[in-house]
Amino acid sequence: MKHIMLLGAALVLVLPFPGRAGEESPPAESDRQSCGWSGEIEAGPRLRPLIEERQAKCARIAPYESKFLERQILLFEKAERPPIDQINIFGFYPRIQSIDHRSQWAGGVRFWQPDLGGSRLDLNGSAFWSVQGFQYYEAQAGFLPHRGKAMPSFAHKADDVFELPNVRLDDDVPYMAYGSFGYRWAPQFDYFGAGPDSRPEDRADFRQKDTLAEAVVGYRVLRHLTLSARVGHYRASIGPGEDESLPQIEDVFPPSQVPGLESRPDFVRFGFAGVLDGRDVARNPHRGALLAAQWMRWDHQDGSEFSFDRYAVDGRLYIALGHRQRVLALRTYFSRDEPSDEGGRVPFYLLGFLGSSHTLRAFPSQRFRGEKLLLFQAEYRIEASPTIEVALFVDSGAVAELSDDSLGRFETDGGVGLRFKTHALTAVRADFAWGSEGFKFLFRFSPSF
Low-confidence residues of the chain: pLDDT under 70: 1-44, 64, 66-88, 154-169
pLDDT of the residue at 20 = 39
Q: Is 9 helix (H, G, I), strand (E, B) or coil?
A: helix
pLDDT of the residue at 52 = 75
pLDDT digits (tens, 9 = 90+) for 338-349: 998 888 899 999
Q: What is the DSSP string of 137-150?
A: EEEEEEE---STTS
- Which residues lie below 8 Å from residue 379, measured CB to CB, with a gap of 6+? 327, 328, 329, 391, 392, 393, 417, 448, 449
pLDDT of the residue at 162 = 57
- Which residues lie below 8 Å from residue 322, measured CB to CB, with a gap of 6+? none
How far apart (Å, rounded) are the C-alpha atoms in residues 19 and 22? 10
- Which residues lie below 8 Å from residue 98, measured CB to CB, with a gap of 6+? 104, 105, 106, 130, 444, 445
74-444 maps to CATH 2.40.160.50 = yes
φ, ψ for residue 45 (rounded to 5)? -60, -25
pLDDT of the residue at 159 = 56
CB atoms within 10 A of CB 191: 26
CATH 2.40.160.50 spans which residues of the chain? Answer: 74-444
One-letter amino acid at 40 equals: E
One-letter amino acid at 187 equals: P
pLDDT of the residue at 398 = 96
CB atoms within 10 A of CB 322: 6
pLDDT of the residue at 118 = 82
pLDDT of the residue at 77 = 54
pLDDT of the residue at 17 = 41
How far apart (Å, rounded) are the C-alpha atoms in residues 190 and 193? 9
